[in-house]
Structure 1
Amino acid sequence: MISKITKLTAAAAFGLASVLSVANAAEPPKGGTVAAVENTKGPIKIAFLSFQNNPFWTPVTDGAKAANDYLKGFNATVDFVDLGNELSAEAVVAGIEGALAKQYNGIVVVPIFDGTARIINEATEAGVPVFNIVAEGAAPSERLAFIGQDATSAGEQIGKFIQEKMNGKGKLGVITGYFGATQHTQRMNGAVDYLKANAPDIQIVGPFENKDKAEEAYSLVQDMMTSNPDLSMVYVTAGGPFGAAKAVKDLGLTGKVGVVGFDHTPDNMQYLKTGEMVGLLDQAPYQQALDASVMLYNYLVAGTEPPAKVIPVVGNLLTPADAK
């Protein structure tokens, strides 16, 4: 019999204090903060739906696999489902429809776009809870919970950093991932709106769209430098910032033009160490994937609600000095 849960929180990475305190619960898996409770319900199947279009998704995939390895000991599986390399609401909808057709007990998903709330609501109403991670659309849904960074606040954090690095003046190139992705837009506007209000002498060049592709970011930076040789910084809101950093390096502009972006992936960290990237903000994708899967499992087998409907990720901003 499962003992009553006396305390349920996410760890400090999510801005909360501690982990599950449950009798009969195992230790949290390595890299996670949430322990699984005893399964008295029988076999549980969770579908984990995510994209694979740039290196950011590698730790997300690894987190899902770690959840599967951990939950196997509790008669549960977490099946990773690749939604492809083109982000779209249609891919999310198709993925959730497929999971419902295969009769999964629960779904973890990166919905990211508006146009996904309807299918999330349909799944919930059919008795299949959905746990959103990383980014979701602006339209509210009946999802069980969401783990992720507050995109507007993260953008503002980047904006303050840019203001300081540029001494409040100069030209800033802006590259977003997808114009239709709510998270990308909020990250972009969080920074741009802050700079317009607090650093009016910083001129915005763009925004441009790279569809999360490093090679497109590379070409965009080359084009921006041709049109604006006095550009001093580039802000990439989503995937592929290392492509922008490579362009800076290949143009011989290291130390003159800096790139700011997201995620402590190996490709990005390489350019942070050599100085083309001057700021990188993380969002704990591995832990998001792992903890969301375990929290969903706990809900399915014990009715344990997540600690909040929105579990915020606290970003860690690194500079070249941190990478040495």
Structure 2
Amino acid sequence: MILKTFRSLAFAAAATIAFAMPAAAQAPEGGTVVAVENTKGPIKIAFLSFQNNPFWTPVTEGAKAANDYLSKFNATVDFVDLGDELSAEAVVAGIEGALAKNYSGIVVVPIFDGTARIINEATDEGVPVFNIIAEGAAPSKRLAFIGQDATSAGKQIGEYIARKMNGNGKLGVITGYFGATQHTQRMNGALGFLKANHPDIEIVGPFENKDKAESAYSLVQDMMTANPDLSMVYVTAGGPFGAAKAVKDLGLSGKVGVVGFDHTPDNMQYLKTGEMVGLLDQAPYQQALDSSVMLYNYLVAGTEPRSKIIPVAGKLLTPEDVQ
């Protein structure tokens, strides 16, 4: 049932990925890219991703769907778990391992700075790298990046927060990793907008939860103890449902709202009951599936993605949307 939900959400978001699609061809369910004929022989793609919170479930399922689809074209997509602690070192080690195993190409989530060097090395060795979800600020020779503009997404959240708070009150801020470029951009996109346009909103934090729901839970409890007049919490990355659970357990449902990212089952449950008041999606299942097929097409036919940056426009859901 969870996988079906992820696929439905990914399929609904398909129109948000900007690139050309052959009119008479058939893309896999939940994706929008069609595989071309393989005249090169066996193709092996390494898909490198983390596994530290429920957000990664649709990413994993998207990679598996890509493997199922591309297996008909003499290609495999091997999912490689980078672990539950996000770091540049884990990404570097993962890419080095893929190079040692002679993979044809690599799909990776290089969320930190410090990963561009190994991406460049792989590219120079003839192994193209496709970045998804989030990448560091330093430029690299990656084939392309598919994902959300994190600063714009943060601004979108900031505008929504301002409306919900009527331009005043206390806002608690929890980010995933202070060193993650995407998390910082999401945070600064929101806070920059609020500081410039709604100076009466007081910021409490930011605090770091390392994408852990249990940490977000404890942080909200601590924030409420120190700031009983807190009216909203913004979680920039993983674990927002932990913050929502804290709101519920403190008996503050309807008084304190949580805003965050990703339409995962845990988050959606709290959106339905009202502790979460806003969730912005980034189509992770589709990103995983489409990037794998685009990389395959490049490997077998030299077909480059239409753009070096392929944007994903997220959909912001509210409790009213899911009733």
- Please give the TM-score of this superposition, normalised by the length of structure 2: 0.95
**Secondary structure, counterpart of 1:61 in structure 2:** helix
Is contact 1:11-1:17 (8 Å) kept? no
Distance 1:196 1:37 in 2: 49
Distance 1:142 1:213 in 2: 32
- RMSD (Å), alpha carbons: 1.1
Give the C-alpha shift of residue 13 in structure 1: 1.7
Give the C-alpha shift of residue 323 in structure 1: 1.1
Is contact 2:19-2:306 (8 Å) kept? no
Give the match for residue 20 of structure 1: 22
Is contact 2:14-2:286 (8 Å) kept? no
Residue type at the aligned position of 2:312: V
Distance 2:21 2:30 in 1: 12
Runs of 4+ with deviation above 4 angstroms: none
Give the match for residue 31 of structure 1: 30
Distance 2:117 2:306 in 1: 24
Residue type at the aligned position of 1:209: E
Residue type at the aligned position of 1:104: Y
Deviations 1:191-231 (A, max 9, x none): 00000000000000000000000000000000000000000
Is contact 1:130-1:144 (8 Å) kept? yes
Give the C-alpha shift of residue 20 in structure 1: 3.4
Give the match for residue 71 of structure 1: 70
Whether 2:148 is the aligned partner of 1:149: answer yes
Is contact 1:11-1:18 (8 Å) kept? no
- Give the number of equivalent residue pairs: 311
Give the match for residue 235 of structure 2: 236
Distance 1:12 1:182 in 2: 26
Distance 2:222 2:246 in 1: 10
For structure 2, list consecutive stretches of 5 or more residues without a partner in the other structure.
1-12
Give the match for residue 96 of structure 1: 95
Give the match for residue 6 of structure 1: none
Distance 1:291 1:184 in 2: 23
In structure 2, relative to structure 1, the CA distance for the partners of 1:113 and 1:17 (3 Å cut) is closer
Residue type at the aligned position of 1:70: Y
- Please give the TM-score of this superposition, normalised by the length of structure 1: 0.95
Distance 1:21 1:168 in 2: 47
Is contact 1:259-1:278 (8 Å) kept? yes
Distance 2:142 2:286 in 1: 19
Aligned identity (percent) is 85
Deviations 1:151-171 (A, max 9, x none): 000000000000000000000
Distance 1:47 1:76 in 2: 11
Give the match for residue 113 of structure 2: 114
Give the match for residue 133 of structure 1: 132
Residue type at the aligned position of 2:22: L
Give the match for residue 281 of structure 2: 282
Give the C-alpha shift of residue 21 in structure 1: 4.7
Residue type at the aligned position of 1:156: K
